[in-house]
């Protein structure tokens, strides 16, 4: 096993002439000339080169005479949510050629396995190497999914505790991210399936078995994404309903205040009138008696509202969810 | 029939050499060395071992040269809702090897049937034993479904009686649990179907018939899950609407109180004014007359609100649902 | 044609030996011994017997060596909504064996047709008889569907006239019933399709034509169920919106009352103050002038609210829907 | 070409014996005897006759030995929304037999084309005639769809201008009508497809091409129906939101009135108190000063509400949608 | 290569006789005579001519003996949202005949490529030219999709900043446009797929590869449309919830004002009563003491509402979404 940093395309030419399997990894798609030279060297079809350069493409497998192109997408967390990065893999009998959009280290574990001389990866030909690359890309989705699980649980706790308008935006953003993820993983599954089903001689029977495992992972990731999407949709309902409950609480405070004090104010208004002939005004116990009536009225109202459960809403706080 | 507790992998080796069908059940996946020894003994493929160890896997059937691996999932009720537990079954012509995540007793009925010497299960070879295990796993879903039916009915009764915000959280949790169940049972159906359709020589024609029965149960469980999901969705609507109705009630109380007393207070305010020339104030019957007017106004308002059905809302209580 | 009430299984044995087509109808599944004897007599497979006894099973067609089992479900209206009842039909070259959960008279029309000696049903062999039974079961869904149509129309009228909280519960219950119906009819269609497509020698070409008709009825029933489900969903929206409208009306009454009387009360409050230097209080026309101002203010408010359409809401009553 | 009004079934018999293609159109399904005679004459299968008579049937194609029955549905606008009418077409090598539920003139254009002696329709045999009839039925859906487009646009304009509760009922009714239309057109497409795909010798290759065109029309109509359904669903959201906005407006008026006048009334109440020692009451400028304070308070409130955008809601009127 | 403006159909006739590949582009469908002459010249089937003229047709591929008709739809932004324009392409071994509804310049890039003598497009026969035309039509959707992305982001920002009722109408309009786009692109994908799959000798193997690329673009566009539709649906929820929040704010202002001032007004009302025996009225410190009580009450209310978070709602403004 040899490992080299290559600066010019000419060096690759020498490499390929040797009777070995080469893995050439191109990082960054900026230099058009290098890409064109590579395309000439590896006889890459114009359409294939376009697919490699015009990112993001839909993950797919395209078979050309010389090699099979497999376009796949990594899921990276960027500044504005999920930022998928395209990885294009050309598989041929004697080389594996990969293109990455940006420099990244997602393939480091594979490099290490090759360096450590793990027998399987070094003896199984280019299709196993291609599988290992695909597998690394797919496995990169798992940690992301876990963060989603945690995000949604955190949101649920927040909704239970202190629902704020900003939560809806976060749910909306989560849904958008899950949508982007689904859009990335769905065609990946189809592409891997195409690799398994097509009678492509490049893919050995052993690798087909491994690809099936990879396919199962795709399906598992899709399952998880769908579950998270449904949970996110459900959270939105719970949030909206807790907003409704808050509004209900506001309404109740208003109603209770108004229902208690408006009748009392009316009574006070009665005895603030200036009629000449209002006998009550001259009673010695008129004032204390009225105060007592007012007090009793208030008590009656409080009892009424408590019966209705409007003053007992403090007890309606969500119970412990594990009950 | 013999039944043994086995402590070391070497003992199994002896067992397998005899010309019988052995069922080896491994409980717990903790000891890596034992698992590796077992993998060597049964020539388990690296991918298969991974599937057994890295739980939870999606239920599936994978055919290897030596044996067929069938991964399935039990549904157990744990502390945080549904906790599926993976059961991996290797079927070969002369042994059935099962792995359970944790120690459990879901297979006790089968053990008993073997111990009792039921002819079918002891004479039908390993594929029938595998069917019996699968069937036991699938049948474990039924009691769970029943509890769901009861939970949803209890929630419906609570909504009819005394809707509380916590109900929405319980509906949300039920929906999440049903989602998890569906995610567990859906691929199970596909796996059983694969066992039936594939020309797998391990599965005898008789067992195929039994597996078809098992498949029907899967479909029935899925049907029930879908029904419960739709009912849970409907319950959420009913709950939200009953919250709306409560809010409506609050609004009506406020409106009735305000509509009756605000005009009366205004009238009292009029005669509380200090104009010098207010002839009414000097009438002997001014005060009683005003009180009468106020009383009539109140009666008119009450009649008006009763006509509108706002004071009659006590009669709008949900009628008996079986009417 | 002979018709007998049979009490013991032995009597059936004699019957079957004759060179005729027999229809044996078993009502009720309670007596385990009888069932076991019947199973022995007709060599019913253990799984088939289980399907017959453990109701409700999903409707399906299962082919055994001796006969074909066709499980179907009637739709009966019970105390708690739709209560499906399972009917199991075994078809063989010389007998038709049916099991009903409970005693019922759904097969009376067929009995009558046989008694009347209608040529088709008596000369077409057991598969035609089985078709006639299936057809009777399927046709039993039509009157049920009609009641649904009427229920939904009645609910719509109620929502238009006087929406009550109980309506939502009725819509919810209707949706649940429709769900149960769909769950019953959906697999029925598949089962009939299986009977048509499978190269089952028991089913003659003529009967296949009749079964296709039966299949069309299933599809028609499913269509109607889907339509009713969508209508029920739409009704829920209309109901919720009419609740909103009612709330709006309550709010408007409150707002109008408050907006008119609060400013007037304020004016009255002004002239109820006890400042020494309030010249207006001494004007001879102060009081009538203030009353006039108050009257004008009220008129202005009423005009304003009428312009806004808030006092004209009586005119917004739903117009005649057939306009 | 001959055209006759036929009163008795016997006359048809003579017609058929001639070596020509006859089109017999039966209007109305009332007279059972005539139908039975026709069935005998044309050897119509009992099931086929049932399908013709028991309207409405699901559109379908059924092949019998003598002829092919094609059931299709016209869409007519009746008093209670869309009223589909069934047209049944029997195609055989030497006649086309059509049954209409009611008398109608949907086939007049075809009659005219035949009368005018258009070569295609008169020389292409019965299957072309059947195609022409089907095409006329399908084309009858287009004007209906246009009225839907207009209805939905009118509703949208109304919602933008003056949303009334009745609009929701109209949207609900539109959705029901679209549902009925979809239920009518969906199986029609399948039926036409069956005519194209089946190796039916009655359908010539040329007519197959024409039927494909007819099939495309079906798909186009279904597309349009789906679009209208989604638009109607969207309209409902827009309507509900505009109701919310109206309610918001009501709430704002109430809040503004209450927030301005309640504090002012409180101030007036203060100086309406009868304490002996209230120095302000004796200030010469007390009254004008208080009035000034009240005025400033009002201005402050108005400014505050204007800042919040609550008094500026007149400016939030929906802008011109074509901006 | 020659390029000509052609005025009469006769000129085309001469062209076709030469042994070359001709591309005839007809702009505008107004002149019936010209169309009829063209139909005669190119032996266009009556149905094909109808499809060309009666716009808009559903995109499709129809194979005739002489040529293959491919109907496709451009997406143009018109005055009332998206206005699709139909482009009909006839492909035959020696000509490509295109019809455009209106004059447009969407094909200018292709014309330039031909003029510049790009080898691929000039040497690959009519099917490559047809592919290039289709590709240009499909690529025309990308800029449109970008504007949608921007529109939705702009709407989201507006909702976060200052939600106005008009936003809902804009979301509704966006959803309608996306629906129209989907309706245009969906059958396009099927049509291209039909071109690839059908054993059409006109389509060379090379062109099939290019068409597959075109097909991938269609799928990508559909993916993007679905994503935008879901995002638009989510935006509607966010908007409705922000309207709810605004209403909540209004309610809070009303409740706070009323809850603070109604009790105070009641207290003022008490001491505005004219009872003879009200000792407080004669206390020297009665008035200042009452004012102090009122002040303390107000402070208590403010503290209470602040604790509830109702006066702290200014802090609940949506946080920066990139946190």
Q: What is the pLDDT of residues D46-58, one digit of tens each?
A: 889 988 888 788 8
Of residues C119 and E317, more confidence is placed in C119
How many residues make up chain E in this entry?
A: 323
pLDDT at residue D279, rounded to an integer:
84
Q: What is the largest CA-CA distance in chain E?
A: 122
- Spacing of C-alpha D96 from chain mean position: 32
d(CA C67, CA C72): 16
Please report, in angstroms and rounded to a whole number, the separation of the first and last CA atoms in chain E.
60
- Which three-class secondary structure state does DSSP give residue C85? strand
Interhelix angle B286-307/B205-270, rounded to 10 degrees, is 160
Sign of the alpha-carbon dihedral angle for A156, A158, A161, A164: negative
Where does the pLDDT of residue D72 fall: very low under 50, low under 70, confident under 90, or very high at 90 and above?
Answer: very high
Classify domain A247-313 by CATH number: 1.20.58.340
Residues carrying CATH 1.20.58.340, chain D? 251-314
Each residue's pLDDT tens digit, D134-183? 998 998 899 889 888 899 989 988 887 777 778 888 898 899 889 989 98
Instruction: List per-residue pLDDT tens for chain B, 323 residues long.
Output: 667 777 777 777 777 766 677 888 888 777 788 888 888 888 888 889 988 888 788 899 998 888 999 999 888 776 666 777 889 999 988 888 988 887 766 787 788 877 776 666 666 778 888 898 899 899 889 988 988 889 998 998 888 777 777 888 889 889 988 998 998 899 999 999 999 988 888 888 888 989 999 999 999 999 999 999 999 988 888 888 888 888 888 888 888 888 888 889 888 888 888 888 888 888 888 888 888 998 999 999 888 888 877 775 444 444 443 43
**Chain-wide mean pLDDT for chain E?**
83
Place of tokens 């305000």: B258
Question: How many CB pairs below 8 Å do chains B and C form together?
Answer: 130
d(CA B144, CA C161): 43
Q: Which residue of C has its CA nearest to B234?
A: C172
d(CA E148, CA E230): 13
Q: What is the DSSP letter of D321?
A: T
Residues carrying CATH 1.20.58.340, chain B? 248-313
Measured between CA atoms, how close is D270 to chain E, in angstroms?
A: 5
Each residue's pLDDT tens digit, E255-290? 888 888 888 888 888 888 888 888 888 888 888 888
d(CA C170, CA C151): 9
Mean pLDDT, range C189-197, rounded to an integer = 92
pLDDT at residue C163, rounded to an integer:
77
Q: List Cα–Cα distances, C253 to C266, D313, E142, in angstroms.
A: 20, 21, 53
Give the list of residues 6+ apart from residue E306 with CB closer than 8 angstroms, or none: E312
Q: Are D258 and C255 in contact (CB under 8 A)?
A: no
Report the CATH fold assignment for D251-314: Methane Monooxygenase Hydroxylase; Chain G, domain 1 (1.20.58)
Of residues E36 and A162, more confidence is placed in E36
Of A139-148, A200-209, C118-127, the one with minimum mean pLDDT is: C118-127
Secondary-structure class of domain D9-241 per CATH = alpha beta
- A262: nearest CB among B80, B262, B269: B262
- What would you report as the CA-atom Rg of chain A, rounded to the nearest whole angstrom? 35
Q: Are B293 and B267 in contact (CB under 8 A)?
A: yes
Where does the pLDDT of residue E226 fall: very low under 50, low under 70, confident under 90, or very high at 90 and above?
Answer: very high
d(CA A100, CA A105): 10
- What would you report as the CA-atom Rg of chain B, rounded to the nearest whole angstrom? 35
d(CA D286, CA D288): 6
d(CA E163, CA C282): 53
φ/ψ (deg, to 5) at E199: -80, 50
- From E268, E262, E315, select the one nearest E290 (Cα to Cα): E268
Of residues C17 and E206, more confidence is placed in E206
- A47: nearest CB among E213, E251, E273: E213
Each residue's pLDDT tens digit, E4-27? 777 677 777 777 766 677 888 888
Q: What is the DSSP letter of E271?
A: T
- Which three-class secondary structure state does DSSP give residue C27? strand
State the architecture of B248-313 in CATH terms: Up-down Bundle (1.20)
d(CA A49, CA D110): 57
Give the list of residues 6+ apart from residue B175 with CB closer than 8 angstroms, or none: A230, A234, B229, B232, B233
Q: Do B278 and C290 touch (CB under 8 A)?
A: no
d(CA B231, CA C81): 14
φ/ψ (deg, to 5) at D174: -60, -45
**Chain-wide mean pLDDT for chain D?**
83
Query: Is the backbone peptide bond immediately before A56 cis, with ω within 30 degrees of 0?
Result: yes
Both tokens of D136, joined, read: 């006329």
pLDDT at residue D120, rounded to an integer:
65
Both tokens of A235, joined, read: 């959270």
Residues carrying CATH 3.30.460.20, chain D? 9-241
Give the list of residues 6+ apart from residue D152 with CB closer than 8 angstroms, or none: D174, D228, D231, D232, D235
Got the DSSP string for B106-122? TTHHHHHHHHTT-HHHH
Q: Are B119 and B113 in contact (CB under 8 A)?
A: no
Both tokens of A122, joined, read: 């070094």
pLDDT at residue B19, rounded to an integer:
63
**Chain-wide mean pLDDT for chain A?**
83
Q: Do D274 and E281 touch (CB under 8 A)?
A: yes
Going by their DSSP bridges, the two strands E81-91 and E68-78 should be labelled as: antiparallel
Measured between CA atoms, how close is C269 to chain D, in angstroms?
A: 5
3-state helix, strand, coil in chain C (%, to 5): 65, 10, 25
- From C75, C52, C70, select the one nearest C185 (Cα to Cα): C75
- Spacing of C-alpha B29 from chain mean position: 27
Residue A142 has pLDDT above 80, yes or no: yes
- From D268, D255, D245, select the one nearest D317 (Cα to Cα): D245
Q: How many CA atoms lie within 13 A of A137 on its CB side?
A: 29
d(CA C242, CA C165): 11
Give the list of residues 6+ apart from residue D176 with CB closer than 8 angstroms, or none: C231, C234, D81
Burial of A97 per CB tally in 10 Å (0-12, 13-18, 19+): buried
Both tokens of B107, joined, read: 């297979």
pTM attached to this predicted model: 0.84
d(CA B301, CA C132): 66
Is the CATH number 1.10.3720.10 carried by domain E247-315? no
Each residue's pLDDT tens digit, C222-262? 999 999 999 998 888 888 888 888 888 888 888 888 888 88
Strand arrangement, sheet containing E81-91: E22-27, E95-100, E81-91, E68-78, E60-63
Measured between CA atoms, how close is E318 to chain A, in angstroms?
A: 5
Q: Do C275 and D262 touch (CB under 8 A)?
A: no
d(CA C159, CA C171): 11
Each residue's pLDDT tens digit, E137-175? 998 899 889 888 899 989 988 887 777 778 888 898 899
Q: Are E237 and D237 in contact (CB under 8 A)?
A: no
Interhelix angle D46-53/D32-41, rounded to 10 degrees, is 140
3-state helix, strand, coil in chain D (%, to 5): 65, 10, 25
Q: Do B160 and C173 touch (CB under 8 A)?
A: no
Q: Which residue of B has its CA nearest to C186?
A: B223
Of residues A250 and D3, more confidence is placed in A250
Both tokens of D37, joined, read: 């005679």
Mean pLDDT, range A216-223, rounded to an integer = 93
**B306 phi-psi bin (left φ>0, alpha ψ -120 to 50, beta other):** alpha
Residues forming beta bridges with residue C50, ordered by sequence position: none
Place of tokens 């013999």: B2
Q: Do C272 and B275 touch (CB under 8 A)?
A: no
d(CA E49, CA E43): 10
Interhelix angle B165-197/B205-270, rounded to 10 degrees, is 160
Residues carrying CATH 1.20.58.340, chain C? 250-313
Q: Do A316 and B47 touch (CB under 8 A)?
A: no
Going by their DSSP bridges, the two strands D22-27 and D60-63 should be labelled as: unpaired
CATH of C250-313, one of 3.40.190.10, 3.30.1330.10, 1.20.58.340, 1.10.3720.10: 1.20.58.340
Q: Do B223 and C183 touch (CB under 8 A)?
A: yes
- D234: nearest CB among E175, E246, E284: E175
Q: Do C58 and B231 touch (CB under 8 A)?
A: no
Measured between CA atoms, how close is E281 to chain A, in angstroms?
A: 12
Q: Which residue of E has its CA nearest to A244?
A: E244
Measured between CA atoms, how close is C277 to chain D, in angstroms?
A: 6
Which chains touch E (3+ CB pairs under 8 A)? A, D
Residues forming beta bridges with residue C70, ordered by sequence position: C61, C89
- Here the ipTM equals 0.79
Burial code of B31-45, b = ≥16 C-beta within 10 A, e = fewer? Answer: eeeebebbbeebebb
d(CA A48, CA E210): 10
């Amino acid at each position: 096993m040899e490992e080299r940093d290559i600066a010019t395309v000419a060096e690759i030419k020498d490499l390929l002439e040797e009777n070995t399997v080469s893995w050439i990894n191109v990082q960054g798609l900026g230099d058009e000339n290098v890409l064109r030279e590579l395309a000439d060297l590896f006889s890459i079809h114009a359409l294939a080169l376009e697919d490699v350069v015009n990112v993001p493409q839909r993950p797919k497998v395209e078979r050309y005479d010389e090699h099979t192109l497999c376009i796949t997408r990594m899921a990276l967390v960027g500044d504005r949510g999920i930022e998928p990065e395209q990885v294009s893999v050309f598989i041929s009998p004697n080389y594996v050629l990969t293109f990455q959009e940006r420099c990244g280290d997602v393939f480091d574990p594979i490099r290490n396995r090759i360096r450590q001389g793990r027998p399987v990866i070094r003896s199984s030909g280019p299709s196993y190497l291609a599988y290992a690359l695909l597998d690394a890309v797919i496995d990169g989705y798992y940690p992301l999914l876990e963060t989603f699980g945690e995000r949604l649980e955190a949101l649920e706790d927040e909704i239970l505790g202190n629902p704020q308008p900003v939560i809806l935006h976060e749910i909306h953003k989560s849904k958008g991210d899950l949508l982007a993820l689904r859009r990335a993983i769905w065609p990946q599954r189809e592409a891997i399936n195409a690799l398994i089903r097509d009678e492509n001689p490049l893919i050995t029977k052993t690798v087909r078995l491994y690809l099936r495992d990879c396919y199962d992972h795709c399906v598992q990731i899709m399952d998880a994404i769908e579950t998270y999407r449904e949970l996110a949709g459900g959270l939105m309902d719970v949030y909206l309903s807790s907003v409704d409950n808050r509004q209900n609480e506001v309404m109740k405070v208003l109603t209770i205040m108004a229902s208690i004090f408006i009748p009392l104010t009316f009574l006070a208004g009665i005895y603030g009138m200036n009629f000449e002939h209002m006998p009550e005004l001259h009673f010695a116990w008129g004032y204390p008696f009225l105060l007592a009536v007012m007090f009793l009225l208030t008590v009656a109202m409080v009892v009424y509202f408590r019966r209705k459960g409007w003053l007992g809403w403090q007890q309606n706080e969500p119970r412990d969810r594990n009950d």
